[in-house]
A and B are shown apart, each in its own frame.
Chain A
């Protein structure tokens, strides 16, 4: 097993290095970070304006060749943990990216946990009671959730939260941000209520999209396993339906779901862009959107570096989990 893990980790390193080069080129091609200065009508002379643009280009290393810029960027990260300056402002890019990552992680992990539990339950029930009313209902709901545009669904949910607030005369559901501003109740209970009130709606939006796909996946996988020979054998040997279902069928059926989930989690941690934007959470999604609009290349590079690392890490986790769950893989 250890050899298997080491082999997978070693493969990940060149992939990560290649991804930094690729993302660097993509970001450099995304536009001129100083356009905002070049097209701005500040009331200074043309010479003063150009001098300031040159000064900024030098500060941001834009007046060097691409290979020099790449080496400067990557070596500063590796040797000094310096992720470079933002195009505007004075924030620490690393701190910005990891703060945003923390916010997104909070949202994503809760929604994934809920979505996974629901997906497994309904997927299994649908498979066991194939072509029943329950199966048709969950299938219909799954397809509805799958086909709903996230943006539209998020707005719809916000309106729903708003109506609930109006009917109850409360401010329980928040529609922007992860906390109320100003925070009026600093007690533990008050803070918890505020956090939950702001978390429910985006969690549902994010969770239902994952739920829809995963429940369909679980159903299909479970059906395949339930119709396999070894399950029929287990049944014919007189094992209880519960034992057959949980110890034999479900464990096997969850193997592919594990891989899919690990990959989906990586994608979601990279930024639930639409959900975060609609609910104005300052996570990875909004960080990327803001950086993209401003051609804030060091922030984009930082974001892409973290995202690439997460994707590679979760691919690794998926591989390892697959190996753990299925001995045939690790011995292959």
Chain B
């Protein structure tokens, strides 16, 4: 998982992050127009509430992988907006592992599994024949079969060497200085073997629930060999850095980068050596960098760009809706807003106080004063691990009363817990007045409102809340916060995300919630490849986290895709891969 600071998407773990399901997979997935891995539209209120689409995007809530489908005509150019500049070109490298780089490279880096618009991983059947996983005791064996015709754009085959190179730079031990964005899964690999001329890769590892997250962005080992090498740690680091420094002219995907104008645009054209079933009909795909979101609707209206994917607000949505021939989709993403407590705080270490506070807070009021203003039907989120639409999602929060805004019940809970001055000046049993800070991102009006809502609500309990701003959420790392509101950015691969956030040693348990029982359940989930069992274990863990009163999920942040209605097969993809995950299908509608 990543966290989300205001409009800025930080660290994209992309398809490198963790896997969700188990068992073997083959067949198509959520990427292409014909490639739905769902049995059919199954409207689910938890999924469709708070979404709205127009034109070809009208059915995207129920048909996320097939909406806006259509036949394309040859030729044409599409300009798609990126909101950030490109720090480097190797999305596997920590520094360059950002959303915008992943979007640009969706059509360049081949991967075994990709993340679909339905928030599920799917096998990339352009590259792979199959990927079969079996588990015997403590050993998981995955057999990847690569398509014989799969080649890099210089004609070299995509094979075992590329899988091995990615593992070596990522596992954290073969090349400790490489600084790969994710070592999850790779560090559990005990052996890798190539056969069938390198087109079959057999991986043996300790059981890893999120195994489908591995090998999501392959680098060409033969090019690494030319620019540093692949044999020693130092050589691996040299070649790994070379990939970051140099604009890729290589490609193993449907597109190839033809021109880069620094901080301005990236131009791509169809890869002539593309081996997949759908060849891009476009002459050019342009990623246009516009770093000021407010300029995007004007550029769209002036037809300088044809598609935008900004973080929405009421103003932006209203402006885009007024543009002729533009269709838009207001969806729900993997980014979710939440309050966290710092349990090192002298008052907030008391679980009963925390739960009472969460009970008093009304999530519906917060939503109506924030995203509810432009997302009709937006509803509170009920899980700390899954979001609606992901297999395994269930509401574990609402039934507990947390987030209900029940001040009376909260007062009673505090009285029962031995607090005095309930409703006037809340004091602990030893007479200390309860007061703390609520920290929010400076300039983020929604988060300011959220903290103000807490401040007003808790006044009714007799708690003094002071508002504090942060510019970069660095307080999370230093622990200099009491209560904080920010967002997590999830991926289709949930297990390792849960390990990071809810385990003390995970690196992102910023509030120091120490719940060994929940940690055990999450670790158990990480060690199995049985999907129903994973979901069951994670939901049990989630219930414990809810009971801890450590974190209160508020809502899923909306996504917003807008494009001219002559563009087909472009659709929302709220994962860290972004909409370009099926870029080869994009095109201008055939008349």
Which A residues form the contact surface with B (CB < 8 A)? 31-32, 35-46, 48-49, 51-52, 55-56, 88-91, 99, 155, 158-159, 161-162, 165, 171, 173-177, 180-182, 277-280, 282, 286, 289-290, 295
Contacts and interface: CB of A to CB of B under 8 A. Distances in A.
Given A37-B94, A39-B3, A48-B172, 4 more contacts: A39-B474, A43-B181, A162-B302, A277-B292
Contact of B13 (A43, A46, A277): A43
Contacts of B18: 43
A32 B284 CA distance: 40
Contact of B267 (A48, A182, A286): A182
A176 B79 CA distance: 13
Nearest to A277: B292
Contacts of B2: 40-41
A174 B95 CA distance: 33
Contacts of B265: 181
A89 B11 contact: no
A45 B473 CA distance: 21
Contacts of B192: none
28 contacts: A31-B471, A36-B10, A37-B94, A40-B94, A41-B13, A41-B508, A42-B11, A42-B97, A43-B184, A43-B496, A46-B506, A48-B183, A88-B87, A89-B88, A89-B95, A90-B245, A91-B262, A161-B302, A162-B298, A162-B302, A171-B303, A171-B304, A176-B295, A180-B304, A278-B295, A280-B289, A280-B291, A282-B264
Contacts of A161: 302
Query: Which 8 residue pairs of A and B lie closest in terms of their CB atoms, listed nearest first?
Result: A40-B11, A88-B87, A43-B182, A43-B184, A89-B87, A46-B507, A38-B477, A90-B245
A53 to B, nearest CB: 10
Contacts of B295: 158, 175-176, 278-280
Contacts of B244: 90
B177 interface: yes
Interface in B448-505: 471-474, 476-477, 488, 496-497, 500-501, 505
A158 B183 contact: no
A89 B263 CA distance: 12
Contacts of B11: 36, 40-42
Given A39-B474, A44-B182, A158-B298, A181 B286 contact: yes
Contacts of A176: 288, 290, 295, 299, 304-305
A15 B44 CA distance: 68
Interface centre among A88, A155, A286 (most CB of B within 10 A): A88
Nearest to B304: A176
B48 interface: no
Contacts of A171: 302-304
Contacts of A55: 177, 179
A191 to B, nearest CB: 15
Contact of A41 (B1, B179, B471): B1
Nearest to B77: A182
Contacts of A51: 176
B96 A88 contact: yes
B261 interface: yes
Contacts of A180: 304
Nearest to A180: B304
A7 to B, nearest CB: 42
Nearest to A40: B11
Interface in B174-219: 176-177, 179-184, 187
A41 B79 contact: no
B507 A174 contact: no
B322 to A, nearest CB: 12
Given A159-B298, A176-B288, A177-B264, A43 B3 contact: no
A89 B267 CA distance: 19
B373 to A, nearest CB: 22
Given A90-B244, A175-B299, A280-B292, A41 B183 contact: no
B458 to A, nearest CB: 26
Nearest to B263: A282
Contacts of B182: 42-44
A152 to B, nearest CB: 12
A38 B3 CA distance: 12
A293 to B, nearest CB: 8
A176 B296 CA distance: 9
Contacts of B245: 90
Nearest to A286: B291
B290 A280 contact: yes
A295 B472 CA distance: 10
Contacts of B298: 155, 158-159, 162, 175
A180 B477 CA distance: 43
Interface in B276-317: 284, 286, 288-292, 294-295, 298-299, 301-305
B87 to A, nearest CB: 4
Contacts of B94: 37, 40, 42, 44, 52
A290 B85 contact: yes
Nearest to B179: A52
A103 B506 CA distance: 46
A174 to B, nearest CB: 7
Interface in B199-242: none
B567 interface: no
Interface string B494-524: 0011001100011110000000000000000
Interface string B1-13: 1110100001101
B16 interface: yes
B232 to A, nearest CB: 18
Contacts of A46: 505-507
A162 B301 contact: yes
Nearest to B286: A181
Contacts of B169: none
B347 to A, nearest CB: 25
Contacts of A175: 295, 298-299, 302, 304
A41 B500 contact: yes
A41 B5 CA distance: 12
A49 B176 CA distance: 11
Contacts of A56: 95
